[in-house]
Amino acid sequence: MFEFLIHVSTMACLFGLLALSLNLQVGFAGLVNFGHIALFGCGTYGAAIAFANQWGPVAGLLLGGAAAALLALAFARLGRNLGADYWGIATLSIAEILRTFATNEQWLTGGAQGIHGLPMLFGSLPAPWGPLATLGLCAVLLAVCWALCQRLVNGRYGLALKLLREEPQLASSLGYDLAALRRTPLVISGLIAAVAGFLFAHYTTFVGPDQLYSAETFLIWSMLIVGGLGNNLGAVAGAFLMQFLLAYVPFVKDALGLPSEFVAAMRLTLVGGGLLAFLLWRTQGLIPERIGGRHA
Amino acid sequence: MVQFFSDVLIRTVDLALIAVGLSCVYSLIRFPNIALVQYAVAGSFLALLLQGAGLPLPVAGLLACLLVGGLAVLLNVTVFERLLASGSAIAMVGSLAVTMILSAVFLVVFGPDSRRFDLDSHPVIRVLDARLTVHQLTAVGLTAGAVIVLALLLFRTTLGRSMRATATNRVLAAATGIDARLITNTVVFLSGVLAALGGIGLALKGEMNIQLGMDVLLPVFAAAILGGLGNALGAVAGAVIIATAETLVTNVNLGPLVGEPLLFLPASYATAMSFLILVAALLVRPHGLFVNEVKRV
C-alpha cells in the first residue's frame, strides 16, 4: 500500500509538471493546445532513443528538450495566423501525426512495442529508497517549475501574457510582438513537458506510442479546469486530485465486483464529468485565478 | 484506376455527412463541436438496438436519426448554449467532455466489442472494374440523397433562407422577425440527423464499435475545415480531397523514389496524411479553402 502511494504521488508530481506547463499556455497566454502530450512525448522518446543508442541519459534529456523546443516553435508558427479553435484542431492533428510516426517507424522508435528496459533513476538504491528518491526528485522539480512559472506570470511579463489572452489587438497596439509573446511560453512549457517526459520514461522504464494518445492531453486539460485555469497552485492541485481519484478506481471496481470495462468507463466519466461539471458550475475552478496586482 | 476512384468515393462517403453536419452547425454556433462524431456512433448503435427490437432496418435507421437529432438539441440547450457564453474555446473543451461521457455510456451499454447490423451477406457487384458491395452502394446513395436534400433545403425553402440569414448576420435576421434560437436549434437537430445518418452509413459498410467516433474525428474535422467551417457544401469537397489524399498515400508505390521495387507506406499513414494536409492548408489559408471571411489576430 505504501509503495502504491509512492507510485501515485510520483505520477501526480509528473502530471503536476505537465499541468503547470499546459497552464502556462492555456491559462495565461490563452493558447488552446490540444496536442500537449506530443511535447511530453518528445521527452519520453528523447530518453528512449538515447538509451537505445547508448548515448547516456544526459544526451537523452538534451535530445528530448531540443525536440520539444522545435515542436513548440512549430506550434507557435502555426498559431501565428490561426483562430483559437482552429489552432486547437491543428495541434491535435500534429500530436496524432507524431504518434502515428512513432507507431510505424520501427528503426527509430521500436514501433508499437516501444522501447523497454530504460534504467531506473535510482535503481541502485535498496527497495524502499529508490522509488522514494525518485519521488523526492520529482517533487523538487515540481517545486522548482512552480517557482519558475510563478516568477514568469507575476509581474510585467505575466500581464503581457494575460493581455495577449484577453485583448490581442490591444496588446498589439501597445507594441507587443504577439508572435514572440506566443513563442516564449510555448517553448518554456515544451521544455517543462519534456523534462516530465524524461523522468516518466526513466521511472516506468518503458516508452511506447500508447502513452501518447490524445486522451492524455484531455486528462491534463481536466486537471487544469478542475484546479483552476490561470492559477499555478490550482493546476498542481488539479493534477494531484485527478491522479489520486483515477488511481483508486480499480479498487472501487474490485470492491463492488464490477466488470473490467468499468475501469475505462469510470475513468472517462471522471475526466469528462469533472471537465463538464466545472465548466458549467464553477468555471474558475477550485482555486480561481487571482485578478489584479499584488496589492489589489 | 476505376477501383481507385471507387475507393475514393467510399472514403468520401465515410466522412462527408458528418463533416457536413459539423460545418452546418458551425455556421450558427461558432465552435467546432467535437461531440458530433459521437452522435454518429450513437446513431449506428441506436439503429442496431431498434433493429434488434424487431423493426426493419430503414425504419430503425430513420428513428435512430430522429432520436439523435433530439439528443443534439437537448445537449445544445442544456450544455452548449451555457458554455458558449464563456467563449468558443470553453465550448469546445465542453464538447470534448461530452464526447468522453458519451464514450463511457457506449462502453457500459454496448461493451468494447465490434457489432454488425443484421444484414444479408455482402454480395459483390462489379461496376466497370471496381468491386463494390450492395451495402457500400446503399451508403453512397444515402449520402448523395442527404446532401441533395440539404442543398435543396438551404437554397430553395424559406427555412433555408432563414438559416442562411441567421448565419450571416444574427442581429439583422432577428430584426426581420426570424427566431434565431429556433433556427439554431433546427440546424442543431439537422446536424444530429446528418451525423447519425453518417454513422449508420459507416456501420452499413462494415463494423461498428465505440472507437468509430474517435477514429473519424480528425479526418472529419480536416474535411470540414478544408471546406471552410460553416460552408455546408464545401465540406463535401473537403471530404473528396481528404479521401483522395488518403487513398493515394496507401496505393502509390514509392519504390522507384528510393530505388527499390516495392515500397508502400503503412495503412495507418493514410489518416496521418489527411492531418498533414489539414495543417498545411491551415498554414496557407487559415480559415479553409472556400471561405473569404476576414478574421483578425
Which residues of B, range 93-122, sit inside 8 Å of A by Cβ?
93-94, 96-101, 103-105, 107-108, 111-112
Map out the domains of chain B as residue ranges. 2-208
B296 residue type, one letter? R
pLDDT band for position B168 (50/70/90)?
Answer: confident
Chain-centre distance for alpha carbon B268: 20
Closest CB from A90, A264, A276 relative to B282: A90
B56 residue type, one letter? P
B268 CB within 8 Å of a chain A CB: yes
Residue A55 in domain: yes
Condensed to tens digits (0 to 9), the pLDDT of residues B40-57 reads 999 999 999 999 888 888
Q: Can you give the residue range of the structural domain that contains A17?
A: 2-213
Closest CB from A77, A89, A97 relative to B221: A89
Q: Do B89 and A85 touch (CB under 8 A)?
A: yes
Q: Do A104 and B266 touch (CB under 8 A)?
A: yes
Task: Show residues of chain A in contact with B101, CB under 8 Å.
Answer: 268-269, 272-273, 276
Cell of residue A213, nine digits: 494518445
Residues linked to residue B131 through DSSP beta bridges, in sequence order: B126
CA angle A269, A270, A271 (to 5 degrees): 95
Three-class secondary structure of residue B115 per DSSP: strand
Number of domains into which chain A is organized:
1
What pLDDT score does A294 carry?
A: 54
Q: What is the pTM of this model?
A: 0.91
What pLDDT score does B289 carry?
A: 58
Q: Do B108 and A90 touch (CB under 8 A)?
A: no
Condensed to tens digits (0 to 9), the pLDDT of residues B55-100 reads 888 899 999 999 999 999 999 999 999 998 888 888 999 999 999 9
With residue B200 as reference, give the H or E element that holds it: helix B180-205
Whole-number mean pLDDT of chain A? 90
Task: Show residues of chain A in contact with B93, CB under 8 Å.
Answer: 32, 221, 225, 275, 279
- Alpha-carbon gap, residue A40 to A191, rounded angstroms: 9
- Alpha-carbon gap, residue A91 to B60, rounded angstroms: 38
Asked if pLDDT for residue A170 goes beyond 60, the answer is yes
A179 residue type, one letter? A
What pLDDT score does B132 carry?
A: 79
pLDDT band for position A284 (50/70/90)?
Answer: confident
What pLDDT score does B287 carry?
A: 63
Q: Do B275 and A93 touch (CB under 8 A)?
A: yes
With residue B125 as reference, give the H or E element that holds it: strand B124-127
pLDDT band for position A279 (50/70/90)?
Answer: very high
What pLDDT score does B294 carry?
A: 44
Asked if pLDDT for residue A181 goes beyond 50, the answer is yes
Search chain A and give the residue with CA nearest B284.
A81
What pLDDT score does B94 carry?
A: 93
Condensed to tens digits (0 to 9), the pLDDT of residues A221-245 reads 999 999 999 899 999 999 999 999 9
A35 residue type, one letter? G
Task: Show residues of chain B in contact with A104, CB under 8 Å.
Answer: 266, 268-269
Search chain A and give the residue with CA nearest B279.
A90
CA atoms within 13 A on the CB side of B157: 9
Q: What is the mean pLDDT of residues A259-285?
A: 90
Residue A59 in domain: yes
B210 residue type, one letter? I
pLDDT band for position A61 (50/70/90)?
Answer: very high
Cell of residue A41, nine digits: 512525448
Asked if pLDDT for residue A32 goes beyond 70, the answer is yes
Residue A275 in domain: no
Residues linked to residue B208 through DSSP beta bridges, in sequence order: B115
Asked if A176 and A162 touch (Cβ cutoff 8 Å), the reply is no
Task: Show residues of chain B in contact with A178, CB under 8 Å.
Answer: 297
Q: What is the mean pLDDT of residues B19-48?
A: 90
Task: Show residues of chain B in contact with A273, CB under 8 Å.
Answer: 97, 101
What pLDDT score does B297 carry?
A: 34
How far lies A24's CA from each of A129, A145, A161, in Å? 33, 11, 9
Q: Do A280 and B90 touch (CB under 8 A)?
A: no
The dihedral built from the CA positions of residue A282, A287, A292 and A295, taken in this order, carries a sign that is: positive
Closest CB from B31, B101, B225 relative to A268: B101
Condensed to tens digits (0 to 9), the pLDDT of residues A63-105 reads 999 999 999 999 998 877 777 778 888 899 999 999 999 998 8
